[in-house]
Amino acid sequence: MEEVAGGGSSWPYAKKPQQHQLGRSLTYHHPYQGQGRRLQPAQRHQLPDVRAPRPAVVLYTTSLRGVRRTFTDCSAVRAVLRGFRVAVDERDLSMDAALRRELQGLLAARGRAFSLPQLFVGGRLVGGAEEARQLHEAGELRRLLEGAAGQDPAFVCDACGGVRFVPCPACAGSRKVFVEEEGRTSCCGHCNENGLVRCPACSS
């Protein structure tokens, strides 16, 4: 009895601490540290890398402070994503009316009312600030962001200063270009209503 019990308990005992350490590191440590360990991800990446590119993290926001709640919700989701150190394609609707139409279309196709912010991961709608908060607290957000491209949260794009837009190179932001053949100025067809184009260095 003693030999069986002793022999039986020594194996699980040797294994358990490893399982506990792994479990704790994934559960309680900062997600970046979990990625940095590269224990399982190195193996897992073989499959997702072939089948699909890294899931794009797209956050629709506004930098206008018109509605305080909306502004603070945008800031909150942005801060959570920074905590995960993932690269975020932030699309500020106040910079470009086309982005508003883009988001309206995406939400309408899903039967959702328009609101900001809205988070998409890998083309899938995660939701607004409340949904992101709940997923984060449940530990689900980290799983959704698995495999997303990483980025130092302190990174600031040199080309646009983090604004994600730059003045249109064709019209220098004036929205008017001189058409030599016609000898007159014409509306610039390259930029948006603000004379801006998406930053070629950091935005697609």
State which residue, 138 or 159, has the beta carbon closest to Zn ion.
Answer: 159
CA distance 63 to 182: 39
The three-state secondary structure class of 186 is strand
Nearest-approach distance from CB 75 to Zn ion, in angstroms:
20
Which CB atom, from 114 or from 155, has the smaller least distance to Zn ion?
A: 155
CA–CA separation, 164 and 123 (whole Å): 20
Question: Which one of 88, 116, 145, 168 is in contact with Zn ion (CB under 5 A)?
Answer: 168
Cβ-based nearer residue to Zn ion, 140 or 158? 158
Residue 202 makes contact with Zn ion by CB under 5 A: yes
Please state the closest distance from residue 203 (CB atom) to Zn ion, in A.
Answer: 6
Q: Is 196 in the site for Zn ion (CB under 5 A)?
A: no
Structure tokens at 187: 């509306």
DSSP letter assigned to residue 195: S
Kindly state the smallest distance separating residue 93's Cβ from Zn ion, in Å: 17
The C-alpha atoms of residue 113 and residue 103 are separated, in whole angstroms, by 11
- Please name the helix (run of DSSP H) or strand (run of DSSP E) that holds residue 154, with its range, or none: none
Task: Enumerate residues 6+ apart whose C-beta is below 8 A from 28.
Answer: none
Report the nearest approach of Zn ion to the CB of residue 94 (Å): 16
Residues engaged in binding Zn ion (CB under 5 A): 157, 159-160, 168, 170-171, 188, 190-191, 199, 201-202
